[in-house]
């Protein structure tokens, strides 16, 4: 009995609404069934509720409200609707829609609760359901946490099915029975073979009650989902014709860029715009959040002039250098700063008391998201309207910011949501859009595109927080007997939520994601989170929390297993009862022909496991020592996200996430001097390049009960698996990232 299905039966209602010349269908979550929530629950100004399917005489539009930042979710959303609607999604227009609470993210709030994703007990389920209702009430619409497919896979199919059956009902009005009609390729087929296009039925469909007693087709009847299909954006992205936020061009548009305090959060004592204003093509210099902006005739002129601004910056009030920041973290491992102890099994203190204690400490540096498309937003402010063109993961927050800044009504704000050239969590903030609105507000009637330079993008990221950990443990009889991990960082939740919403009460679970929530049954097992005082503002970086904690947690577990003399795979299996997790470990062992970490002289094999975003992932990595350094040869990844709707893209997400995890572990960090980031471009922040890319071997098991997303889960175990392989090859334990501080890579 699928848990998601139970929720769906209880809480879905479907509505339709007449729109100009056609019909719109939406799926809407409610806790109490009411007859048509779309129409009756609306306040003034909300009449234009944006649904998932719009059909007009001119064509079919599918609303795909989750942002595509490269993970392919626009296509997946369209395919989910199209499977039930019986259309070729390539013939439909995809539209992200306007921000609306109908598109709230119902999964993500529940996943932030202090229960591991694999915990399906009564309390965990109840709290997740409660949080889903909180999310519904607050209308939080955002794309993140690998949640889109998990959250929408039923509601989008339901919207497609409702639209299909209502169109059939419209076609059946002449006295035919709806049950006698079929649907195929955008048409209703009458018993005599007559084909009526959906577009011809739209106006009639809008006049009737939508058909809500629909059931979703079983997977065995799917014609598109689960089968290899072509991403709907693949031709555009292979021919240079995809429009990204940074590519917007409007008549009369001007161009701007920002120069902000390199010490993020510090103020401005004074400045002189004179030198910049004297430069070619410069229109004006304006004050914006965190610094100044230059408006010019093109982006290059703006970049040049921004460098010519003379500014006396004020320092922010947190430690100025990386050394001081690490020191602040180390000093926060005290009772005063203890934030959580979400895992406390057995009696760790008693188990370690008097025993031979194995200790190790770990560090994970700050990292930029460094999406290849620098942050950009284009804004046109007019007397009664604001239009924003940008790529964002938080459209409602962007809309609300525009409302607050301009005093206009939400209905007067239009967000043109565009594709992002990557994000990795960066577009869960909207600082760049706020600045672009401030800039455009100085020239009403003129559209202005604001583009950050790469240097600005790196300097003013909300980076992954610096994170450190101390592990203490005990082994005996070939087994891991006690495991104690202290995980220390500034609070990501406080920093990020504080910027975009409000800081939620309770523990910062993200600070210990990837550690407290792992499915190991170690008899004495404790994970404690310490939230250090705030430092530079930080943000969600692909697999937040877990991207650091998994490195700490799995690396230390490997150290203990090695000390115990056990096999790293066998001991993990012995410690894990969760069936989904065991299966991915067994699968990766089979795929890689696992026979221990020793694969011959000059080589090494590592393994790591992580359960993040509800997905168990196991990775095995082989490395070879070469004259030029360590070469990563092969990576095996086994994961289970439940039903796979989009297999080609799913494979891409597994390998892409692993490349992201490996590349940064190899050679990336942000360090600070005088509060300023020292790595401001890709010469100092490379990530993985093609010549370093190993062979990948992936398998998705499709056995897990709950559907989950794959944008992030393969990221976290990549770094510890690589460290483990390097240990097997060299005998050297790497306890700090990036690894190229200690070893060379070929």
Partner 1 sequence: MDLTINGSSRTVDLPDDMPLLWALRDGLNMTSVKYGCGIAQCGACTVHIDGEAVRSCQVALGDVWGEITTIEGLGTPDALHAIQAAWIEHQVAQCGYCQSGQIMQAADLLARNAEPTDDDIDDAMSGNLCRCGTYPRIRAAVHAAASAMREA
Q: What angle do CA 399, 402, 404 make, to 5 degrees?
A: 110
Identify the three-state secondary structure at position 696: strand
Helices (H), 463-617: 492-500, 546-564, 568-575, 579-591
Q: Taking the complex as a whole, how short is the minimal distance between the CB of residue 296 and partner 1, in angstroms?
A: 10
Smaller CB separation from partner 1, 47 or 249: 249
Q: Taking the complex as a whole, how short is the minimal distance between the CB of residue 248 and partner 1, in angstroms?
A: 9
Measured distance CA(680)–CA(260) in Å, rounded: 14
Q: Which residue has the tokens 């009449």?
A: 47
Q: Which helix (H) or strand (E) holds 325?
A: helix 322-331
Helices (H), 605-700: 647-667
Token output for 455: 């240097």
Smaller CB separation from partner 1, 28 or 541: 541
Q: Taking the complex as a whole, how short is the minimal distance between the CB of residue 50 and partner 1, in angstroms?
A: 25
Q: Taking the complex as a whole, how short is the minimal distance between the CB of residue 492 and partner 1, in angstroms?
A: 21
Q: Taking the complex as a whole, how short is the minimal distance between the CB of residue 75 and partner 1, in angstroms?
A: 10
Q: Taking the complex as a whole, how short is the minimal distance between the CB of residue 27 and partner 1, in angstroms?
A: 28
Measured distance CA(23)–CA(54) in Å, rounded: 6
Contact predicate 202/21, CB 8 Å: yes
Smaller CB separation from partner 1, 269 or 690: 690
Chain residues that interact with partner 1, rule: CB under 8 A: 69-72, 230-231, 233-244, 246-247, 249, 255, 280, 298-300, 303, 370-374, 419-424, 451, 453-454, 648-649, 652, 655-660, 663, 681-683, 686-691, 693, 695-696
Q: Taking the complex as a whole, how short is the minimal distance between the CB of residue 543 and partner 1, in angstroms?
A: 14
User: CA-based Rg of the chain, rounded to a whole angstrom?
Assistant: 27
Other residues' Cβ atoms within 10 Å of the Cβ of residue 485: 26
Smaller CB separation from partner 1, 101 or 224: 224
Smaller CB separation from partner 1, 97 or 663: 663
Q: Taking the complex as a whole, how short is the minimal distance between the CB of residue 454 and partner 1, in angstroms?
A: 5
- Which residue, among 192, 190, 187, has the nearest Cα to 179 in the 3D structure? 190
Contact predicate 190/196, CB 8 Å: yes
Q: Taking the complex as a whole, how short is the minimal distance between the CB of residue 282 and partner 1, in angstroms?
A: 13
Smaller CB separation from partner 1, 122 or 691: 691
Q: Taking the complex as a whole, how short is the minimal distance between the CB of residue 70 and partner 1, in angstroms?
A: 3
Smaller CB separation from partner 1, 696 or 742: 696
Q: Taking the complex as a whole, how short is the minimal distance between the CB of residue 240 and partner 1, in angstroms?
A: 3
Smaller CB separation from partner 1, 10 or 695: 695
- Which residue, among 593, 621, 602, 488, has the nearest Cα to 545 in the 3D structure? 488
Which DSSP category does 424 fall into?
T
Smaller CB separation from partner 1, 296 or 707: 296
Measured distance CA(432)–CA(434) in Å, rounded: 6
CA distances from 89 to 8, 95, 206, 694 (A): 24, 12, 22, 34
Q: Taking the complex as a whole, how short is the minimal distance between the CB of residue 708 and partner 1, in angstroms?
A: 19
Smaller CB separation from partner 1, 233 or 400: 233
CA distances from 279 to 260, 443, 722 (A): 19, 20, 50
Smaller CB separation from partner 1, 160 or 687: 687
Token output for 16: 């339709």
Smaller CB separation from partner 1, 300 or 357: 300
Note the Cα 2 to chain centre separation in Å: 25
Which DSSP category does 210 fall into?
P
Identify the three-state secondary structure at position 508: coil
Q: Which residue has the tokens 């390729």?
A: 185
Contact predicate 532/576, CB 8 Å: no
Q: Which residue has the tokens 């339709």?
A: 16
145-156 as b/e, with b when 16 or more CB fall inside 10 Å?
Answer: bbbbbbbbbbbb
Q: Taking the complex as a whole, how short is the minimal distance between the CB of residue 72 and partner 1, in angstroms?
A: 7
Smaller CB separation from partner 1, 168 or 427: 427
Measured distance CA(308)–CA(301) in Å, rounded: 11
Pairing status of strand 467-476 against strand 310-313:
unpaired
């Amino acid at each position: 009995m699928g848990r998601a299905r139970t929720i769906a039966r209880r809480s879905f209602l479907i509505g339709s609404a007449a729109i100009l010349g056609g019909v719109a269908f939406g799926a809407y979550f409610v806790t109490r069934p009411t007859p048509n929530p779309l129409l009756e629950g609306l306040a003034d100004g909300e009449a234009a509720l944006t649904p998932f399917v719009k059909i007009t005489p001119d064509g079919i539009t599918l609303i795909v409200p989750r942002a595509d930042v490269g993970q392919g979710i626009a296509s997946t959303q369209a395919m989910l609707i199209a499977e039930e609607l019986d259309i070729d999604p390539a013939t439909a227009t995809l539209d992200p829609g306007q921000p609306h609470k109908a598109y709230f993210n119902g999964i993500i709030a529940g996943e932030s609760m202090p229960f591991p994703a694999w915990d399906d007990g009564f309390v965990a389920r109840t709290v997740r359901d409660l949080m889903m209702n909180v999310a519904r009430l607050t209308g939080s619409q955002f794309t993140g946490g690998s949640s889109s497919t998990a959250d929408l896979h039923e509601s989008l199919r339901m919207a497609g099915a409702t639209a299909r059956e209502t169109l059939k009902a419209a076609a059946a009005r002449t006295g035919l029975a709806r049950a006698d009609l079929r649907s195929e390729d955008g048409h209703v087929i009458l018993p005599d073979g007559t084909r009526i296009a959906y577009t011809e039925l739209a106006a009639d469909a809008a006049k009737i009650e939508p058909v809500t007693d629909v059931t979703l087709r079983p997977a065995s009847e799917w014609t598109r989902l689960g089968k290899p299909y072509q991403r709907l954006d693949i031709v555009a992205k292979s021919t240079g014709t995809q429009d990204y936020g940074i590519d917007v061009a409007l008549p009369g548009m001007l161009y701007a860029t920002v120069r902000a305090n390199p010490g993020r959060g510090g103020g401005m004592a004074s400045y002189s715009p004179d030198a910049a204003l004297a430069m070619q093509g410069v229109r004006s210099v304006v004050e914006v959040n965190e610094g100044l902006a230059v408006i010019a005739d093109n982006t290059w002129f703006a970049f040049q002039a921004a460098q010519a601004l003379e500014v006396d910056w004020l320092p922010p009030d947190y430690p100025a250098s990386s050394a001081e920041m690490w020191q602040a973290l180390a000093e926060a491992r005290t009772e005063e700063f203890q934030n959580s102890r979400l895992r406390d099994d057995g009696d760790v203190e008693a188990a370690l008391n008097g025993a031979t204690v194995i200790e190790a400490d770990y560090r994970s540096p700050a990292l930029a998201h460094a999406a290849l498309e620098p942050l950009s937003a284009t804004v046109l402010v007019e007397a009664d309207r604001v239009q924003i063109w940008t790529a964002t993961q938080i459209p409602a927050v962007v809309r609300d910011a525009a409302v607050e800044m301009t005093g206009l009504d939400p209905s007067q704000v239009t967000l043109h949501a565009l594709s992002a050239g990557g994000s990795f969590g960066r577009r869960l903030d909207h600082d760049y859009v706020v600045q672009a609105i401030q800039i455009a507000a100085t020239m009403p009637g003129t559209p202005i595109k604001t583009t950050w330079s790469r240097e600005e993008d790196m300097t003013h990221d909300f980076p992954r927080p610096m994170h450190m950990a101390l592990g203490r443990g005990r082994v005996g009889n070939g087994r891991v007997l006690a495991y104690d991990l202290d995980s220390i960082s500034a609070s990501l939740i406080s920093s990020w939520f504080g910027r975009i919403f409000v800081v939620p009460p309770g523990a910062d679970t993200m600070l210990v994601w990837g550690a407290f929530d792992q499915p190991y049954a170690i008899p004495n097992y404790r994970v404690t989170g310490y939230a250090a005082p705030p430092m530079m503002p930080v943000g969600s970086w692909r697999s937040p929390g877990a991207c650091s904690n998994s490195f700490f947690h799995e690396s230390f577990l490997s150290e203990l297993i090695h000390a115990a003399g056990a096999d790293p795979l066998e001991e993990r299996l012995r410690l894990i009862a969760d069936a989904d997790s065991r299966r991915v470990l067994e699968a990766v062992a089979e795929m890689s022909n696992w026979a221990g970490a020793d694969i011959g002289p000059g080589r090494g094999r590592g393994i790591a496991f992580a359960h993040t975003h509800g997905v168990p992932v196991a990775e095995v990595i082989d490395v070879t020592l070469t004259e030029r350094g360590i070469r990563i040869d092969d990576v095996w990844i086994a994961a289970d996200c439940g039903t796979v709707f989009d297999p080609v893209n799913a494979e891409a997400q597994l390998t892409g996430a692993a490349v992201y995890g490996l590349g940064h572990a190899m050679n990336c960090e942000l360090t600070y001097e005088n509060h300023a980031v020292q790595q401001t471009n890709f010469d100092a922040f490379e990530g993985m390049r093609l010549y370093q890319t190993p062979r990948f071997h992936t398998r998705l098991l499709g056995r897990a009960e709950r559907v989950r997303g794959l944008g992030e889960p393969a990221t976290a175990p990549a770094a510890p698996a690589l460290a483990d392989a390097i240990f097997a090859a060299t005998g050297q334990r790497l306890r700090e990232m990036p690894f190229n501080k200690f070893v060379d890579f070929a």
